[in-house]
Structures are given as structure tokens and as C-alpha cells.
Structure 1
Amino acid sequence: MVADSQPGHIDQIKQTNAGAVYRLIDQLGPVSRIDLSRFAQLAPASITKIVREMLEAHLVQETEIQEPGSRGRPAVGLMVETEAWHYLAVRISRGEIHLSLRDLSSQLVVEDQLELALTDSTPFLTRVIDHIDRFFIRPSKEAGTPYLHRHDDARYYRYRKWHYSSHAVL
């Protein structure tokens, strides 16, 4: 019985460790791998594996850090990759919907304020989702391209059953 439940337990430990490492990078970044190992109380090999996966997923990025008074090659520091990932913030008030796309550092990427009719027979949730769809699909005023257009990456933004690809929305 114990052997049957062990793989799930190991996966949970890996997720917990990865979460702890990500939080440390977010709080302390830029931070070196050796410092992460010390603060997280994990083996350097574990840190290397966790960080490699985070780098591949564009969750963190490497940067040079030069300690004051140190000589030689600068250490490689890790910090959270805030520009690669975005989230949608939605605020609904009487007669209005405010939509803003922000990066992980909460910096505004783009925003819009739209009318949300109070006397519309269309179901409320359908109207909200329609506004979100139009927010992502319409071209930006500056570039003439969709807000989510990026040639280097195919990101998917999931809302219930829909997904948006920066390559598919041109």
C-alpha cells in the first residue's frame, strides 16, 4: 500500500520544492543558485534541476550579479521572468467593465474600459465573455496588431473552454 501511494507523494514534494524555490527567487531575486540551495535547504543538484525546468518554462531568467567588493566573473543570478507571462484583470461596475492585461510584476500592458449595458437581454456572463474575446482579438492602436501578438512565442490564454494563441489571432 505504501509503495502505491509513494509516486504521488514524491510528485507533491517536487511541486512543493519548486514552489518554495520560485517564491525565494521572487522574494530575493536576483539570487544565485548556491544561495537558493542554502535558503531552500535543498541539494545543489535539486536546485539545478528545478531552475532548469523554470528556465525552460520562462518562469525565471538569468542575470549577472556582481557582489560589492568581489572580483572575477560575476555570479549568475536568477530572477522572476515578469514580462513573459500575463494575466487578465477584470473589474465590473454598474454599466462598465474594465479589462487590463498585466505582466507578473503587475505592470500594465494594455487596458480598456467598455460599456456593459444594464438593459440587455443577453445573459450577463455571455456579455462579459464577449467583451473579453473582443479585448484580445482587436488590433492595438499603435501597432495595428492584436494585443497578444508575439512572433517568438505561442502563449495560450485560457478562459473556460476558449484559448487564444498569439499566432492564431492575426
Structure 2
Amino acid sequence: MFSVAPLEIFASKTVALLTRTAPRDLYDMHNMVKYGLFDESEEEMFRKCAVFYSAIGPEQPPKKFELDNIGKLSSSQIKRDLVPVLRKGERFDLELVQQEVRDYLASILIPTKEEELFWKAFSEGTYYPHWIFGESNEFANIARHPMALWKCRNKTENTISLDKGK
């Protein structure tokens, strides 16, 4: 039976925060940082997973991680969407949390050249997961990831059908 590791869950949470920028995503990321859920030895894999999920999630892979989106959350969004689900007495300092999460992510979400090439190739419909994860047997299943294969196949099919329409 396959299961998703906590590292993968938080990497996908990171991508959600950077793309949809919902209060709950910021709250979860803040708790990840605050409680030190992952140590330094896991940060490289965290980044690799974030690179992967940023490719298969949104319409297009990014050219870089857009950390500025973290600052777009407003206090009215926090009051409306987050405060009602916080534990009684729990406080949430939006500006402090935004800065802590932005600083943490800025320190680890620095894609390698291979990861940037992965994004570029993926945006063109080509899937090379070994550019992120290497050739390790540990990651053999990632080569058959259904969402990655589907997105690349659709990009290739759309390109072919557009070319035929010329």
C-alpha cells in the first residue's frame, strides 16, 4: 500500500500557499516552521517535492517560487476564514507569521539548475523526474505518477492538434 509522507503533504501545502494563498495554508506552514516538523537533513527533499508538486498542480509550472503571494493575505481574510477555526484563545499575528514563513521558504526554496530545467521541460510536455530526484530506485514510482503523465500527455496532444490546425 502506498501512502504520502508528511514531507510530501507539506510540500504540496507549500505549493498551495504560493498559488492559492489561503489563510489555512499559511497557518499550516507557520505551524510546520514553529514546531520544526522537518530538520535540516530533510530540507533538500522538501524543496524537491515542492518543485515536483509545483509542476503537476497549477496550469503551468513556475519559473521560480513566488513568495510575494504570502504577503497578499489580508487581515480581513484571516478574520473571516481562519479565526473561526482556531482554538479558543489562540492568537495569530498575520504580519509576523507572513515574515517567518516567507523567510523560511526563501532559505530553502532555491531551485537547482536541473530543477529549473525540469519545470521548463514539463511546461513543454516532457517529463524527466530524474532531473529532480536522480536515478535512485527509491523514486522509481515517481516516473509513473498519473497526474504528471496526464498533464504531459495533454500538453503534447494539445501541441499536436494546434500544429495540425495551421
TM-score exceeds 0.5: no
So what's the TM-score if we normalise by structure 1? 0.29
Larger radius of gyration: 1
Higher strand share: 1
Structure showing greater relative contact order (alpha-carbon pairs closer than 8 Å, 6 or more residues apart) = 2
Higher helix share: 2
So what's the TM-score if we normalise by structure 2? 0.30
